[in-house]
Amino acid sequence: MVRLISILMMMIFAFVGQAQVSVHAPQSNVPDMAKDSLTVSLITKYPAAEVYQLYGHEAIRVKSATYDLAFDYGLFDFTAPNFIYRFVKGETDYMAGCHDFEMFMLSCARDGAMVVEQTLNLTDEEKHRLVESLMWDVQPQNRTYRYNYVKNNCATKVLDKLDAAVGQPIAYDDSVRYGTYRKQLTHYGRNYAWYQFGIDMLLGSGLDYDLERREEMFVPVELMHSVEQVRLADGRRLVQKTEVIYEGRGDMTLSATPTIQSPMMVMWALMVVVSVLTVVGHRRGKIFNGLYMFWYGLCGVVGCLVLFMVLASEHEATSPNINVWWLNPSGLVVAALVCCRKVRRPLWWFMALKALSVIALTVVLPFQAQVINIANYPLILIDLILSVAYLVNGENKDILQSALAAFKRK
């Protein structure tokens, strides 16, 4: 569970940083290229090793006889006031930037990921319309925008610019590859089991609705593949030429988490340990207060984060989240009171409610929309085991007998 808290925080940072190429301020003196002969292309950087690089990055290259620039929407400022609170809350502001293309490529090369260039088959009018829009976006008074990791990021901003350049929404092949955001995130995070576990813990059913192909293009590599197939309304191919401009050093993502270290195996092992300790305690007629304080204390802390994300965060898909049913601040109540014998009776009834709540959750889970990570199931079982064990433990025998007698009288 300690590792879980770290993973949850890392996951949030990853959403903030997934489009990042540089945290330096963009150029403020953007050249006027309105009258130049231009070559415009899309630049797609493949995924790299860090969690914030798992989805790659997208930029637009604009080249003339005088200038060679990269425009992108992946900059943010760590020094902004209240940055940590704002990114947890989902109020993350990104910036559009303009860079010398050579410097942009040096930044990409440091990560070792492949870079692909797609030269666009636009008319001169469309090119200049696009460049004027880009130059407007990178001006200091215009460059900041509210970031959304699946609906308003470095790739979706490029899609919007292409639509504006050709004067109408571009029609993409609607052959959906993944189906939902969660399946797509799982694919790109397939080697990062703990990261995916954190995503599935914090993000709710908003990740599980059916997508159209355009929605899947928030990932730059998916944008690259779809743009390659596009024909515009007049029959032109949107992409004139595709070439790899940096081979990279192979697949830069990390190797898959060993099965023995995966969340599923760790959580099932944890459930076995808790079950053994619970059986030992039951046979001895003793409640292991330390076990309850540790487990429910950690669940309560993580539950505070989950509840905050559900109630206050503007991040995509944080609410509704079925996990808040069992992972919420109520665990802190158990952790705080389990050692206090004077409140055994109210705590017993509180644990009875928790047990009933978990049982109800297991009934509801198969019929609700949110996909649950398989590693969550042993955690839910631990909650049920500990709550039931508290009810039937010998230390609480008198309370259990009185509750059963009251039930029989009714």
Both 306 and 335 in one domain: the answer is yes
Residue 193 domain flag: no
Residue 192 domain flag: no
Q: In this structure, which long-range contacts are made by residues 233-240, counting pairs with CB atoms below 8 Å and at least 24 apart in sequence?
A: 233/166, 233/168, 233/171, 236/121, 237/121, 238/120, 238/121, 238/162, 238/170, 239/42, 239/118, 239/119, 239/120, 239/121, 240/119, 240/120, 240/121
Q: What is the pTM of this model?
A: 0.89
pLDDT on residue 410: 61
pLDDT on residue 80: 76
Residue 195 domain flag: no
CB 280: neighbour CB atoms within 10 A?
A: 11
Contact 205, 25 (CB under 8 A): no
Rounded Cα distance, 18 and 87, in Å: 13
Both 165 and 285 in one domain: the answer is no
Contact 113, 252 (CB under 8 A): yes
Both 267 and 241 in one domain: the answer is no
Both 328 and 231 in one domain: the answer is no
Closest CA to 386 of 365, 353, 355, 349: 355
Question: The domain containing residue 348 runs over which residues?
Answer: 259-409
pLDDT tens, residue by residue, 368-399: 999 999 999 999 999 999 999 999 998 888 88
pLDDT on residue 358: 96
pLDDT on residue 6: 54
pLDDT on residue 26: 47
Residue 403 domain flag: yes
pLDDT on residue 89: 82
Closest CA to 404 of 352, 339, 360: 352
Both 20 and 153 in one domain: the answer is yes
Both 291 and 156 in one domain: the answer is no
pLDDT on residue 329: 97
56: left (phi over 0), alpha (psi -120 to 50) or beta: left
In a structure prediction context, what are the per-residue pLDDT tens digits for the chain, which is 410 residues long?
545 555 555 555 555 444 444 444 445 455 666 556 899 999 999 999 998 899 999 999 999 999 999 999 998 877 777 777 887 788 888 999 999 999 999 999 999 999 999 999 999 999 999 999 999 999 999 999 999 999 999 999 999 999 999 999 999 988 999 999 999 999 999 999 999 999 999 999 999 999 999 999 999 999 999 999 999 999 999 999 999 999 999 889 999 999 999 999 999 999 999 999 999 999 998 999 999 999 999 999 999 999 999 999 888 889 999 999 999 999 999 999 999 989 999 999 999 999 999 999 999 999 999 999 999 999 999 999 999 999 999 888 888 888 787 777 76
Both 332 and 232 in one domain: the answer is no
pLDDT on residue 42: 98
Both 171 and 79 in one domain: the answer is yes
Residue 187 domain flag: no
| Count of domains for the chain | 2
Both 226 and 319 in one domain: the answer is no
First and final C-alpha spacing in the chain: 41
Both 363 and 390 in one domain: the answer is yes
Residue 74 domain flag: yes
Residue 181 domain flag: no
Residue 73 domain flag: yes
The beta-strand segments (E) located in 225-381 are 239-246
Both 223 and 263 in one domain: the answer is no
Helix, strand, or coil (residue 190)? coil
Both 148 and 268 in one domain: the answer is no
pLDDT on residue 244: 97
Rounded Cα distance, 322 and 167, in Å: 42
pLDDT on residue 119: 98
Of 193, 221, 246, which residue is a domain's last?
A: 246
